[in-house]
Amino acid sequence: MADSLTLPHSRLRSSGGTPIVLVIGGGASGNAITILLRRAGIAVDLVEARPDWNATTGSGITLQGNALRVLRELGVWEQVEASGYAFGSLGVTAPDGTVLFVAEDIQTGGEDLPATLGMQRPRLQQLLINAVRASGAGVRLGTTAEALEQDADGVSVRFSDGTSGRYDLVVAADGLNSATRAAIGIAEKAEPTGMAIWRIAAPRPESVTRTDLAYGGPAYIAGYCPTSENTIYAYVVEACRDRAAIDPATYADEMRRLAQGYGGAWPEITEHITDPKKVNYTWFDRLLVEGSWHRGRVVLIGDAAHCCPPTMAQGAAMSLEDASVLAELLTSGRDWDDELLQGYHDRRISRVRTVVEASVQIGQWQLDGVRDADIAGLVGSTMNLLKERP
């Protein structure tokens, strides 16, 4: 099934002409860099493996200020603000719902943006899809890049439908299990951290006006985030199990069993954990590609280069920042050479490494049963670092 905006069979850059970029993957980072490059007048083709462009999957997402800053750069901030639920604090509770303390969130995007905003993930994806379409990029859905052949001047790509194209640069935004990453000889793969998460979208209890996290109880973490005036997404984190051994028909039963051990707003939330098709179960993974994030004229972005558990809610933010930094460099007037692409990596690696390692550490402390872990200190130092522009 192909989108109505299709790619020509071959696109060649003439001498001194406008460069042509292929973006593989239509998630947050792929959509974002497409929008930014098109704004600069660069021709972009985007291919996405899923025919539905991931427009209906996912429950909710927590976006902190540094993510909102990039969404403002993309021109969708006003729609995001209208669609989501902004708040500025984080509550930590006992499993029975007793509030232990409330901390003010750090405004990593600056004082003119909320510290945190929750929204329904499909709504965010739809806003980005609309912006990609409005940009005039070529789009093909249900299509993958099957083969890439590089030379000194560009990349020849053969697609899954038998068509082909010629590009000056290929941006691999095809996610955690990136086939493009493997195709260009980067061997790193995502590794499970030992934790897994149950997620569901649910109606918002009137009392839920921020994220609250309960540590301990039947699971390691139980939390929720308001995603609009009427909705939240709720989640429970436990040790990972063999996914093949869990019948998807029991997903609601499994999540409800864990959630019933929590007080506060949880009894009201648990009433809505009934449909197994609305419950998602996912392992936490870790990935950080060491060394360069490019090979020749193919460059990794977002989860294809790095991913981390959502213990700090920074995964999407790191992907969006990648897009912003890479687009800035590609539109700077400099040659698209090894120096520029290595410069992209060099600007990102320290910041991304800090987030990945902190996110993994928070989970590891819980797996190891460390009772005096300074989670608040680690989160605070990391978030203060993220106030600086990438």
- In the predicted model, is pLDDT for residue 100 greater than 50? yes
pLDDT at 1 over 60: no
Alpha-carbon span 45 to 26, nearest angstrom? 11
Residue 230's CB: how many other CB atoms inside 10 A? Answer: 10
Q: Rounded mean pLDDT of 275-293?
A: 96
Q: Which alpha helices (DSSP H) does the chain contain, by range?
A: 28-39, 65-73, 77-83, 121-135, 179-183, 251-259, 266-270, 315-330, 338-367, 375-386
pLDDT, one tens digit per residue, over 113-149 is: 999 999 999 999 999 999 999 999 999 999 999 999 9
CB 35 within 8 A of CB 72: no
According to the 3-state scheme, what is the secondary structure of 137-158? CEEEECCCEEEEEECCCCEEEE
Which two structure tokens, joined as six digits, stand for 206?
């009137």
Average pLDDT over residues 288-314: 97
Q: List phi, psi (to 5°) of 96.
A: -80, 0
State pTM to two decimals.
0.94
Question: Which of 1-15, 39-53, 273-287, 365-379 is the least confident region?
Answer: 1-15
Quote the DSSP letter at residue 245: G
Tell whether the model's pLDDT for residue 10 goes beyond 70. Answer: no
Q: 189-241, pLDDT tens digit by residue?
A: 999 999 999 999 999 999 999 999 999 999 999 999 999 999 999 999 999 99
Residues 44 and 135: their CA atoms lie apart, in Å, by 9
Return the SS3 of 286: strand
Q: 295: which strand partners?
A: 298
Place of tokens 């039947």: 218
Mean pLDDT of 319-337: 97
Q: Give percent of the chain with pLDDT exceeding 70.
A: 96
Radius of gyration of the chain (CA): 21
CA atoms 323, 326, 329, 335: torsion sign:
negative
- For residue 143, give the DSSP letter: -
Residue-wise pLDDT tens digits, 38-89: 999 999 999 999 999 999 988 999 999 999 999 999 999 999 999 999 999 9
Q: How many CB atoms sit inside 10 A of residue 238's CB? A: 18
| Domains, in order of start, for the chain | 20-56+132-190+289-386 (3.50.50.60), 60-122+192-285 (3.30.9.30)
The CA distance from 308 to 43, in Å, is 32
9 vs 378: CA distance, rounded Å: 50
Residue 372: Cβ-neighbour burial (10 angstroms; 0-12, 13-18, 19+): exposed
Separation CA 47–CA 148 (nearest Å): 14
pLDDT score, position 16 = 52
Q: Span 270-279, mean pLDDT?
A: 97
In this prediction, residue 6 carries a pLDDT of: 33
CA dihedral over 74, 80, 82, 87, signed as positive or negative? negative
Checking if the pLDDT of 7 tops 80, the result is no
pLDDT (0 to 100) of residue 364: 97
Pairing of strands 89-93, 211-215: parallel
When pLDDT is cut at 50, 70 and 90, the band that residue 17 belongs to is confident
Residue 187 CB: number of other CB atoms within 10 A?
7
Q: Position 177: which residue type?
A: N
pLDDT (0 to 100) of residue 18:
84
**116 φψ region: left (φ > 0), alpha (ψ -120 to 50), beta (else):** beta
The total of other beta-carbon atoms located within 10 Å of residue 241's CB is 12
φ/ψ (deg, to 5) at 292? -65, 150
- Residues 6 or more apart whose CB falls under 8 angstroms from that of 222 comprise 95, 213, 214, 234, 235, 236, 237, 258, 259, 261, 262, 266
Residue 286 to residue 37: CA distance in whole angstroms: 29
Residue 175 has pLDDT above 80, yes or no: yes
Nearest to 300 by CA among 175, 164, 137, 159: 175
Tokens of residue 209, six digits: 């006006």
User: Which pLDDT value is given to residue 15?
Assistant: 37
